[in-house]
């Protein structure tokens, strides 16, 4: 085998320009396909990371308004309580974001107010200072609140110094008990998360005034059963309204799945275009091997005349195709990963401030598959043709 390898390397080195031109198309094709796959996943991951305001353990349920909105589709606190008693549901709370004017000391800002349950898993961001809203706060309807980093910034205050201070929210007051961590920021710096979180029992008393609900946030016990739980909740609400209205659930995985699917289709289309260059490169490799057969016809005839078997000639030319494919795919994979890493770490990070791990294993696997396919598809025929040459006719070739 080492003799075959040395000879194949020698032949490719002697015809350096021709080898380089054949490798060029292969390198560009593999690099393009892998870079597109890497960037597609990185971009989808970055956009998913920008949806940082959604907790991984919760989902939000609301009426399906595709056919128009009907106030009769809104649900009541009785519906929320029924959802809270369903299997795999830890807690269900009324949910809404209300714009309010907040004041801390001499600073005033327009912020968004939202309810929160007593379980810390309702929070999508960790705390920088203080504590979260507890179940005891919910049960006692304690006037406490947790602020986002955005709220602290708008109030032009120090987060740690705000702990224990009173925040005036419209005509009500609450004591600041916690401040959330500042999430990563980037070009898509759209933060839809609420600025002020208060116990949902306080929210019901001070903001709802008996009104019906458009949204409900549901905390689940087992996230692996999230989809099944969402279906049970939507089926219950539909049944509770006499099957007149439909409801939809949304969670972080649904959004991430949608983004992955969208970018997967884009990557597939662009990758298919890049695959065309692989076909062209494979034809180039076949052409080089066919030219090499013509140039070495007498050599093949001599080898056969002194006893070389067809299998030995076949393996020799197959080795040349395999080396071209391996070199080209390896270099293309390296360039594709390098391009993906550079764009990911210098540009995609600016989308959301999140660096997404690159799929190294997938890229290497793609390169190996491409190398094997190109070797088999475009190296087999020239190798077979060389092995099938008649030794007498080969010796007569000028």
In three-state secondary structure terms, 58 is strand
pLDDT of residue 142: 92
pLDDT (tens digit, 9 = 90+) per residue, 224-267?
888 889 888 888 888 887 778 888 888 777 766 676 676 667 66
Query: Where is average pLDDT lowest: 12-26, 39-53, 333-347?
Result: 39-53
What band does 311 get if pLDDT is binned at 50, 70 and 90?
confident
Q: Find out whether 351 and 43 touch, Cβ atoms under 8 Å.
A: yes
Q: Virtual CA dihedral for 148, 151, 153, 159, nearest 10 degrees?
A: -60
pLDDT of residue 263: 66
User: At 47, phi and psi to the nearest 5?
Assistant: -70, -35
Question: What separation in angstroms does the CA of 286 have from each of 4, 93, 324, 376, 377?
Answer: 19, 66, 10, 11, 9
Taking each helix axis from N to C terminus, what angle separates 16-50 and 2-14, rounded to the nearest 10 degrees?
100
- pLDDT of the residue at 145: 93
What is the pTM for the complete model shown? 0.57
Higher pLDDT, 105 or 43: 105
pLDDT score of 187 more than 50: no
Torsion of CA 277, 279, 284, 285, to 10 degrees: 120
- Asked whether 183 and 101 are in contact (CB, 8 A), the reply is no
Place of tokens 């740690």: 160
Q: Which of the two residues, 352 and 241, has the higher pLDDT score?
A: 241
pLDDT digits (tens, 9 = 90+) for 167-182: 998 888 899 998 888 7
Span 120-133, average pLDDT = 84
**pLDDT tens by residue, 140-168:** 999 999 998 888 888 888 878 889 888 99
Q: Where are the domains of the chain?
A: 2-51+257-396, 58-250
Supply the mean pLDDT for the chain.
78
Residues 143, 381: Cα–Cα separation, whole Å: 80
Alpha helices in the chain (DSSP H): 2-14, 16-50, 77-84, 135-140, 149-154, 159-162, 200-203, 226-240, 252-295, 297-305, 310-343, 349-352, 360-387, 391-396
Bridge partners for 61 per DSSP: 216, 249
The more confidently predicted of residues 158 and 6 is 158
């Amino acid at each position: 085998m080492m003799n075959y390898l040395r000879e194949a390397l020698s032949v490719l080195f002697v015809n350096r320009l021709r080898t380089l031109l054949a490798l060029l198309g292969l390198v560009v094709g593999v690099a393009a396909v892998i870079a597109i796959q890497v960037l597609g996943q990185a971009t989808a991951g970055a956009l998913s990371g920008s949806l940082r305001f959604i907790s991984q353990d919760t989902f939000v349920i609301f009426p399906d308004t595709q056919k128009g909105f009907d106030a009769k589709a809104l649900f009541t606190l009785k519906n929320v309580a029924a959802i809270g008693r369903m299997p795999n549901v830890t807690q269900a709370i009324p949910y809404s974001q209300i714009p309010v004017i907040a004041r801390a000391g001499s600073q005033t800002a327009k912020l968004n107010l939202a309810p929160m349950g007593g379980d810390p898993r309702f929070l999508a961001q960790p705390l920088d200072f203080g504590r979260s809203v507890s179940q005891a706060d919910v049960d006692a309807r304690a006037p406490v609140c947790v602020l986002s980093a955005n709220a602290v910034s708008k109030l032009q205050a120090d987060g740690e110094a705000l702990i224990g201070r009173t925040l005036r929210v419209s005509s009500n007051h609450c004591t600041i008990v916690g401040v959330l961590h500042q999430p990563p920021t980037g070009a898509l710096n759209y933060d839809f998360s609420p600025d002020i979180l208060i116990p949902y029992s306080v929210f019901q008393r001070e903001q709802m005034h008996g009104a019906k609900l458009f949204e409900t946030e549901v905390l689940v016990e087992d996230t692996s059963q999230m989809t099944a739980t969402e279906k049970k909740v939507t089926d219950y609400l539909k049944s509770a309204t006499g099957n007149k209205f439909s409801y939809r659930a949304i969670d972080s995985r649904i959004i991430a799945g949608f983004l992955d699917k969208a970018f997967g289709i884009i990557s597939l289309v662009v990758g298919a275009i890049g695959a065309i260059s692989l076909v062209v490169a494979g034809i180039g490799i076949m052409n080089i091997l066919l030219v090499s057969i013509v140039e070495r016809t007498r050599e093949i005839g001599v080898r056969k005349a002194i006893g070389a078997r067809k299998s030995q000639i076949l393996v020799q030319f197959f080795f040349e195709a395999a080396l071209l494919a391996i070199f080209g795919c390896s270099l293309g994979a390296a360039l594709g990963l390098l391009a993906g890493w550079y764009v990911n770490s210098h540009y995609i990070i600016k989308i959301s401030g999140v660096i997404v791990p690159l799929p190294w294993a997938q890229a290497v696997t793609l390169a190996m598959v491409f190398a094997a396919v190109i070797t088999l598809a475009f190296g087999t025929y020239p190798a077979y043709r060389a092995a099938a040459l008649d030794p007498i006719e080969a010796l007569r070739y000028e």
